[in-house]
Every structure is written in structure tokens, then in C-alpha cells.
Chain A
Amino acid sequence: MSITYLEAIREAQARALAEDSRVYIYGQDVGEFGGAFKATKNLAAEFPGRVKDAPISEDAMVGSAIGAAIEGMRPIIEMQFADFSVAGFNQIVNHAAAFHWRTRVPCPIVVRLPSGGVSGSGPFHSQSLETIYAHYPGLIVMTPATVEDAYSMLLEAVAIDDPVIFCEHKFLYYHLKAESLPTEALPTGKARIAREGRDMTIVAYSAMVHEALDVAAEFATEGIEIEVVDLRSVKPIDTDTVIASVARTGRLLCVGEAWPWGGVTAEVIARVTCEAFHLLDAPPQRLNAKDTPIPYHPDLWSAHRPTARSLAAAARKLLQL
């Protein structure tokens, strides 16, 4: 048996619905149709009345989730694409994020964002928005890179008493597979050493973890050992694990699929530079998407986003600094 990243998300939701009567799923086409990507396939039939189609109203979807959470429910909101979540941005960042701090009443909602690019998706179906959500106090932002994390972190997202932005990567939906669902997991806020190494640390998250692992495998054939840190959640960021890795390697390269201005890669470098400057043997580097909207054509898209190829070039440059 093997299970995909997408199936793991479906299974996590099925388990959450089965085990917790407070959970319901609300989003466009999530009901009988099973969701644009089939992340809720058959769930409406298995859990009658608890997997509900929403009108095309992201503000109202999130707003209603907040109201339901105040009343003790644990809503999961599926955005059809991460890009559409900005139509519900006000409710997420001004309302859900601030709610507990203002009132001491928790606001446990999960907003699932099918994120990142796949070939041919263009400017409005490809975005990685973890940075803008991580900017706001009061949100937890998860960016699972593995089938196991997609499953266990989504379950944890439902259990957490705070609003969680769950950035699931569309590129990983179908081709990333595991033998089985995990029975245990690292806690949220803890990064994972995806591959050990001594010559350089690449910090990545979400789909970029796999590009980093490809680069590490390539460099290993040359005797260069790259350590890959998978952040798992970008808020909170596990700075300790990153700094411990830099202590071993002395070199830091951060990669993210989001745009370059500010953001997760900048945050990691800022923290390492402020807290562990003495551990760095070379200036830390980062690689992001180009600072343009995301192009439609596959040839443009593959040059727009970081890939194993551009990441390898950045790594070689860093080794020579």
C-alpha cells in the first residue's frame, strides 16, 4: 500500500471528523464533488452535513469559521487555491489572528491553502503566501513537506487552539508517496533534519525540501555533504535547530518558493545572523522565486521558481565564498 500527500490530507480530515464532533469542513466544491483536488473525496457521504459546500465567498467562509470557533467548533476551511485566500484576508489576519489576544477566547480554525506552483497554473493559481500570513501575530503557519507531515500536522492543526494556516503544496499532492500513515510525529514548531551533512546547511520547507534533497544527493557524489533542514512550520520557526545545523556546517543557504522581499528565507538569515554570526564561515545566502507574478508558460515558470538546478548553482557559489 502506498499513500500520497493528497490522500494523507484526506485521511487526516476523515480522522478528525470521525474523532471530534466539533470538526466540520467548509469550502467551495468540497461537498459531494470532493473538492477541486479531491482532498475531501467521499467525506460528505461519510459525514453527512459536516462537509459543506460554500458560496464563492472567502470572507464569509473564514468569518463564519471564526463565529463557529467562538461557539466551540473546530472548522476546517478549504480555500480552493492559496491565491484566493486573500479574498478572506481581512477575516484571517485582522479577526481570527487577533481574537484570542483581544478576548482570551481561542479561535481554533484551520485554513487549508493549496499552495505553490504546478506547471501551467499562472499568476493566480500558484502562489505561496506563507510569508504574508506569518507576518501577522496570532497565526500558526504550517508548511508540510512530506506525506507523514501532511497527515500528522493537519491533525495537530485541528487540535491547536489557535488559527492555523495550513500550506499544503499542490506539486506534492500526487507524486509524493509514503508506505503508510505515521503513528507518531515531531511536534509543531520543531524542524526536522531531512538529511545530515557537514559542509553546508540548506534550510527549506514545503516542496523546496525535495529540491534541496536532490541537490544534496548530487553534491554527495562529489564528496560534499549538505545538511538539509526542513522547517515544517514557518511560524513558529525552529531557530535552534537551524543554528545547531549551522554550528556543524558554517554555511547557510535558505530556499523558498515565495517571493524574495522579506519572507521566510530573510527571517531565517536575520535570526542566524543576529544570534549566531560567529558560527558563519561565509555570508548566508538565499534563493527565492523571481520578483514578478508567476508566469503561465512552463519554460518561464521553471525559471521563475527555485529548482534543484538553480539551488545547486547557489550552493556552489556559497561553497566558494
Chain B
Amino acid sequence: MDQTLTSSDRVSEAESSRQAFLAGFGWMLLARTIDEKFASLYRAGKIHGGVYIGKGQEALSAAVGMALREGDVFAPLIRDGAGRLAFGESILDAARTYMGSSLGPMRGRDGSVHRGRPREGLLPMLSHLGAMIPVVNGALMAKRFKGQSGFVGAACIGDGATSTGAFHEGLNQAAVENLPLVLVVADNQFAYSTPTTSQFACASLVDKAKGYGVRGHTADGVDLGDCLRVLSRAADLARGGDGPQLVIGNLLRLCGHGEHDDAHYISPELKASPLGQDCIELAEQRILDESWATASDIAEWKATRIKSVEETVAQVQREPSPDPYKESWYALASKHLSETYENF
């Protein structure tokens, strides 16, 4: 604790961390509610393609989104529902994209987790792991070119993406350019079914930070309080000119890779280990232990979220699907330069 803090400073610090914890918990609950709804719609055959949820990763994800501000750049991971919400994405954008509404940001042209609003700093991912890192770098370079300051960009990946060339190139590029990049790795122990023992041979992924000349941080990914502290510090450092920050969150994916995957390869021992704890249950217990809210408050928070998710999904179910006969089949922004082919 900083010796120069007065007792009232300490009170306000405690109060702001309490508020952050409760806000983070709110995003986690909402993300879990949305994920459960999408999983249920998937099982009912109401969603085209896969559903990828963030169960077990909500604490880390919420902390990333909450460390960002308007004007920052965010390239989320497929399990970053909580972070997206904290960054400002609406439930409506998520539902419209998953359900293929023509009114959504992707208009049925792309789906599920591949959504975003690039003009608002939320980058829509492509499936190639690690490839979003240099894209965030470029957005940060552009802001620097334009004379802006005080911004950061977060790129989120899993343990698997650390094995890609794009991770290496992207983190090295950010280091060379001293960019305010916060690169968050959710080390959830598996890349689809491949365990980390087949993914990397270093003791911890945070060891990689030194090799790239960047600062490394480790967060207990099941502990919301720790995630908030670590991400807030990493973002502050990046914002303050300290260069790229590599944050490793250790946790366990409490679901399959997608809803099609029963995750039978995750051992019972691992599930029973500290990594396998549910970050939402832990956060809820902390709130009760600290008397920050009562069980009935929390029950009400959950009910409110379920209601808004149900209402949003019901609305989206009434929305039009994209019409192939009205679709503009031009890939280019320069429509006059698009090739046209007659299909019979």
C-alpha cells in the first residue's frame, strides 16, 4: 500500500475496487446468461453453424473489457462475451449475429463470434488464431500517426494461438514499435482438444515476455479480483508508455471447444483442481462473504439478465433473414470495379 495514501484515499480505493468487482460480476452474469441461451438455441437447431461459449473465462474476459475505454481497440477471443459487453457491445449485436438477422452488424454475411464494429474499435475476428494481434498493432500505429495519445489496444488469444507465427510476428512487431498493446492469453489448458503439453514447452507462457522484451503479468483467471487488478495495471502501464504487456490468465475451459464438443478429453482431476473452479461461483461467494450484496440481490440480478436476454432473442427471432435475391453480391467497396459473372 502506498504510504502517501490518506485513510479517505484508502476508503475510496476500497470502494472503487468493490464497485469494479460488482460491475465485473454483472458482465460475467450477463455473458453466462447469453451463452446459455445461445447453447440452448443451438441444441434446438435454431442457430446456423457453431456456438462457442466462454464458460469459465468470464472473469478474465470481463477484466479485459473493463480495462478498456472509449477510443481503445479491442480484438476479442471467441470466449470473450463478458469483455465484449464491458467494452460496449450490445446483447442485440450478439443475438443478431448468432441468429443471422439481416439487421445485425454482419447482416448474415458472417456469424457467431465473428462480429464487431470496427469503427467503434471492436474488431471482428477472423478464425486464424493470432492473426488479430498485428491488426490491433496497426490500429495503434494509426492512432499514433494521427497524433492521438492515451489509448491502448487489447488482443485476446488462447494458449493455442501462442504457437502461431502470427503471435510471434505480432508481439515482436508491437515490441519493436513500443505499442500500447495488451496481449491477453487465456491459458485454458486446451486448444480444442490439444493439451498445453503439446502446445508449448516453457514452464509458463509468461516466460515468453522476456524473450520479446515486453513486460509479463500472470492473473489467476478464476479470481475476478485478481483479473481486475492485473488487467487494470497492464492497461495503465501500456497507456503510460511502457510498451506491450503480455498477460497470461490461468484457468480451465468449463465447456467444449464449441457446443458440438463434449470435452471428454478434460480429466476429472483437472476439473476438480483449483483451475477448474467456476469464476462466477467464486465471485458470487466473495460478494456474499464481503456482504456487498445479499443472495436475493444476486438472484434478482440474474433474473433481470435472463429477462433482457430472452426479450432480445425474441425480438431477433422476428427479424428478417438476409434475402439472397436482394443481397448485393459485390465484394469490393469500389462497386464499379467489381467483376460480374452470370450464373445460370
Contacts and interface: CB of A to CB of B under 8 A. Distances in A.
Interface stretch (A67-75, A122-130, A279-287): A67-75
B166 A102 contact: no
Contacts of A60: 133-134, 137, 166, 169-170, 172-173
Interface of B: 73, 105-106, 109-110, 114, 116, 118-119, 123-124, 126, 128, 131-143, 145-146, 165-166, 169-170, 172-173, 176, 330-334, 336-339
Interface in A88-135: 90-91, 94-95, 97-98, 100-103, 105-108
Given A64-B134, A64-B135, A72 B142 contact: yes
A68 B105 contact: no
Nearest to B107: A104
Contact of A59 (B105, B126, B134): B134
17 contacts: A24-B145, A63-B131, A63-B137, A63-B169, A66-B135, A67-B123, A67-B136, A67-B139, A67-B142, A68-B145, A69-B142, A95-B131, A98-B126, A100-B331, A103-B105, A106-B333, A160-B337
A70 B109 contact: no
Contact of B166 (A63, A67, A101): A63
Contact of B134 (A91, A94, A97, A236): A91
Given A65-B138, A70-B139, A161 B131 contact: no
Given A95-B126, A235-B339, A71 B169 contact: no
| Residue of B105, B145, B172, B173 with highest tally of chain A CB at under 10 A | B145
Contacts of B333: 100, 106-108, 161-162
Nearest to A67: B138
A146 interface: no
Nearest to A267: B339
Nearest to A75: B138
A182 interface: no
A165 B207 CA distance: 38
A140 B334 contact: yes
Contacts of A24: 145
B339 A57 contact: no
Interface in A14-65: 24, 49-50, 54-55, 57, 59-65
A46 to B, nearest CB: 16
A140 B135 contact: no
B136 A101 contact: no
B325 to A, nearest CB: 18
Contacts of B338: 236
Instruction: Give the one of B128, B131, B143, B172 with max A CB within 10 A.
Output: B131
Nearest to B336: A189
Contacts of A55: 169, 172-173, 176
Residues of B contacting A: mostly: helix
Given A72-B146, A95-B135, A138-B331, A101 B173 contact: no
Contact of B331 (A97, A105, A161): A97
Given A59-B165, A66-B134, A67-B123, 9 more contacts: A57-B134, A59-B131, A60-B170, A64-B141, A72-B142, A90-B128, A100-B331, A105-B118, A106-B333
Nearest to B153: A67
B131 A64 contact: no
A102 B141 contact: no
A298 interface: no
Contacts of B135: 63-64, 66-67, 70, 91, 95
Nearest to A70: B118
A63 B170 contact: yes
B170 A101 contact: no
B331 A91 contact: no
Contact of A236 (B137, B170, B339): B339
B44 to A, nearest CB: 27
B182 to A, nearest CB: 15
Contacts of B170: 59-60, 63
Nearest first, the 10 A-B pairs at minimum CB distance are A67-B138, A63-B134, A64-B138, A71-B142, A57-B169, A60-B169, A137-B331, A67-B139, A60-B134, A68-B142
A243 to B, nearest CB: 14
A85 interface: no
A237 interface: yes
A104 B338 CA distance: 15
A71 B146 CA distance: 9
Given A55-B173, A63-B170, A103-B116, A90 B138 contact: no
A237 B184 CA distance: 44
Contacts of A68: 138-139, 141-142, 145
A57 B172 CA distance: 9
Nearest to B143: A71
Given A55-B176, A236-B338, A103 B118 contact: yes
A188 interface: yes
A102 B110 contact: yes
Given A90-B131, A100-B331, A162-B332, A66 B138 contact: yes
Contacts of B105: 103
Nearest to A107: B333
A237 B339 contact: yes
A152 B148 CA distance: 32
Contacts of B119: 70, 105
Nearest to B136: A67
Nearest to B119: A105
